[in-house]
Amino acid sequence: MYQPPKGTRDFLPEDMAKRRFIFEKLRSVFEKYGYGEIDTPAFENIELFEKKGSVGGQAVKDIYRFKDKSGRELALRFDMTVPVARVVMSNKLPKPIRFYYISKNWRYEEIKKGRYREFYQAGIELIGPSGSEADAEIIQVTVDLMIALGFENFKIRINSRAILDGFAKKLKIKNADEVFRVLDKLDKKGEAAVRKEMAGLISKKQTDGLFELISGKTNEMDSILNALDKKYRKYVKVDLSIARGLDYYTGFIFETIMKGFESIGSVCSGGRYDSLIEKFGGEKTPATGFGFGIERIVDIMSEKKMFPDSGKKSFFVVPVNDAMKKKAADICNELRAVGIAAETDLLGRSLNKNLDYINSKKISYAIIIGQKELDAGKIKLKDMKTGEERDIDMNAIKDVLGFL
């Protein structure tokens, strides 16, 4: 039997309903802040991701790459920040630029809970401003998103790549990017495991010095914290161990951790990347933003049973025999005309078989039409949740809405 490729999944209507719920919440928050939706091709020229200072060496290994019929080397989209940087470089746009996206990306990486090779990701990019107010806006949007989805127990941990780079310079660590990728595992694996992995990269003295520095205090994050309203600040914590794995970060960085789901990792991460557009040949352009892990949020919300009932009423019109099919189709069309979802039997099933189908699909109401009802000018409306039945005038089908 054919299966989807490893790390990919089929989404049935119930699965997509969950994602649509999240998409709508995201769009609502993004657009309140003035962000406009953008989309880019699913594949790019491989050079875009391989360029020094782009996604980085380890990330490049995870890129899906292929050649087209003309021999061009292409890559499936790894993330949206790099394609957005290409768009900004290629177009003269008034600043500040506020873009958001909800898109599929692809990464050939280890598969585990909350991590897949094909996945939906959302995010925003704020391009132009260089001040702490812009970084504070990124945090504020993150908090508003989490609250809009129904979360309260989360923490946004912030740091700065500039601080980490300063640590590396002070300790004379030459392979800083590799060391920071290991350091970024501290919250997931613990200090002992991180120290063990660092032993193959730097000396024990350098490792001891790094842990001493990240446990210290710093005032460099104060400007961002001070730009945040008090109601947002309570969700934020300075954590000098946060490193982020992509090479394009240059300053402020952050991760969002859900209480009780720490093993899944960050559900929303990002930071400042002031050099990326310039590396692609554009003007020096400050930029900051984040990526939001939709698949991880779906997994968490499903486990916590946070998805609401859609509240949308739906109907299935059951013709008791073939003579009732035309009337059943007419009633469906009347309901659809006023915005109500309706379907009818197309397989010639019995009443009981149709009722079984209606229950399996969790359809709200059954409308039953038989000769007896037709002769009386009535239809039978059955509430599938309560089992309650009512007779309604067949010529006033819109009155059904009055019973909902």
Q: What is the pLDDT of residues 350-367, one digit of tens each?
A: 999 999 999 999 999 999
**What's the per-residue H, E or C state across 199-226?**
CCCCCHHHHHHHHHHHCCCCCCCHHHHH
**Across 102-116, 121-135, 213-227, 379-393, which has the greatest mean pLDDT?**
121-135
Pair (368, 286) in one structural domain: no
Strand-by-strand arrangement of the 73-76 sheet: 43-45, 73-76, 65-67
Residue 1 lies in a domain: no
User: Which of helix, strand or coil describes residue 101?
Assistant: strand
For range 62-78, the mean pLDDT: 94
Residue 392 lies in a domain: yes
Pair (296, 344) in one structural domain: no
- What single-letter amino acid sits at 317? V
Residue 2 lies in a domain: no
Pair (340, 251) in one structural domain: no
Decide which of 280, 303, 326 is a domain's last residue: 303
Confidence of residue 286 (pLDDT cuts 50, 70, 90): very high
Environment class of residue 309 by beta-carbon count within 10 Å: exposed (0-12), middle (13-18) or buried (19+)? exposed
CATH of residue 338: 3.40.50.800
CA distance 190 to 169: 24
Residue 285 lies in a domain: yes
pTM over 0.75? The answer is yes
Pair (28, 116) in one structural domain: yes
* Residue 332, domain extent: 314-403
Q: Are 255 and 266 in contact (CB under 8 A)?
A: yes
Q: Are 210 and 173 in contact (CB under 8 A)?
A: yes
Q: Is the pLDDT of residue 398 over 80?
A: no
End-to-end CA distance of the chain: 44
Pair (254, 390) in one structural domain: no
Q: Are 296 and 308 in contact (CB under 8 A)?
A: no
Q: Are 288 and 275 in contact (CB under 8 A)?
A: no
Show the DSSP H helices in 264-324 as ranges. Answer: 276-279, 294-303
Pair (155, 255) in one structural domain: yes
Confidence of residue 255 (pLDDT cuts 50, 70, 90): very high
Pair (347, 242) in one structural domain: no
CATH of residue 242: 3.30.930.10
The CB density around residue 51, as the number of other CB atoms within 10 Å, is 17
Decide which of 303, 328, 343 is a domain's last residue: 303
The region that residue 53 occupies, defined by phi over 0 for left and psi between -120 and 50 for alpha, beta otherwise, is: left
CA distances from 345 to 129, 317, 368 (A): 58, 7, 11
Residue 6 lies in a domain: no
Confidence of residue 54 (pLDDT cuts 50, 70, 90): confident
CA distances from 107 to 75, 242, 245, 253, 328 (A): 10, 22, 14, 21, 48
Pair (56, 130) in one structural domain: yes
- Give the HSE-up count for residue 310: Cα atoms under 13 Å, Cβ half-sphere: 17
The overall average pLDDT reported for the chain is 89
Look up residue 364 and give its two tokens: 């709200």
Look up residue 251 and give its two tokens: 């300053």
Residue 252 lies in a domain: yes
Polymer length in residues for the chain: 404
Residue 245 lies in a domain: yes
Residue 318 lies in a domain: yes
Decide which of 236, 269, 303 is a domain's last residue: 303
Pair (324, 217) in one structural domain: no
CA distance 169 to 164: 9
In 215-326, where do the E strands start and end?
Answer: 236-238, 252-258, 268-272, 287-293, 314-319
- Bigger pLDDT: 348 or 396? 348
Say how many domains are in the chain: 2
- Please give the angle made by the CA atoms of 322, 379 and 339, to the nearest 5 degrees: 95
Strand 378-383 with 365-369, pairing: antiparallel
Pair (213, 85) in one structural domain: yes
- Bigger pLDDT: 123 or 220? 123
Pair (273, 370) in one structural domain: no
pLDDT of 118: 96
Pair (321, 280) in one structural domain: no
Say which range, 235-239, 248-252, 310-314, 328-332, has the weakest mean pLDDT: 310-314
For range 172-181, the mean pLDDT: 85
pLDDT tens track for 107-149: 998 888 778 999 999 999 999 999 899 999 999 999 999 999 9
Instruction: Using only the alpha carbons of the chain, give its radius of gyration.
Output: 27
CA distance 83 to 49: 9
